Amino acid sequence: MNEKLKEVLKFVIELAIIYVLTMLFITYVMQRTVVSGESMMNTLQDGDSLLVDKISYNFKEPERFDIVIFPYQGDPDECFIKRIIGLPGETVQIDFDGNIYIDGEILEENYGAEVIIDPGRAYEPVTLGEDEYFVMGDNRNHSMDSREPSVGNISKDDIIGRAFVRIMPFSSFGVLE
């Protein structure tokens, strides 16, 4: 075989390997996502670019206050980004004063941008199944989340991953809390 052809073939094979490894990485380990909308303000802004960890929930359970990505049931091509508030087996309730209760105890948190005006379906106690999570946007009065019947409780299998770092804009680069 001609040396020039060998070099071209070697280059094509290396390119194919890089492509396959990149696709495996994006599919199973980590992906970039862009925030669309204001439901997670003030934590996340419209247009923020994030890295999503897609592998850690294979080894540990999602935790309260993790920021997760999941498909919207009404349009599986659309993904939502919200914060986990309620964990499997817990009962979540929100009163008309905007207080969030987990198993009858007020949830101590400071992520909500404002007092909750509409508790939605969580005005009545919402008991989560063994593999379900209750999620809310930080911009509580401008978020379509588990309070809405069209979103409801999120199963662990539906969670694509955990957003853990903002990569753009560079002025806000850092680990998410």
- The residues carrying an active-site annotation are 39, 82
CA dist 44 and 136 (Å) reads 13
Neighbours of 7 (CB within 10 A): 10
- Decide if 108 contacts 99 (C-beta within 8 A): no
3-class SS of residue 150? coil
Which structure tokens are listed for 170?
Answer: 């560079």
3-class SS of residue 171? helix
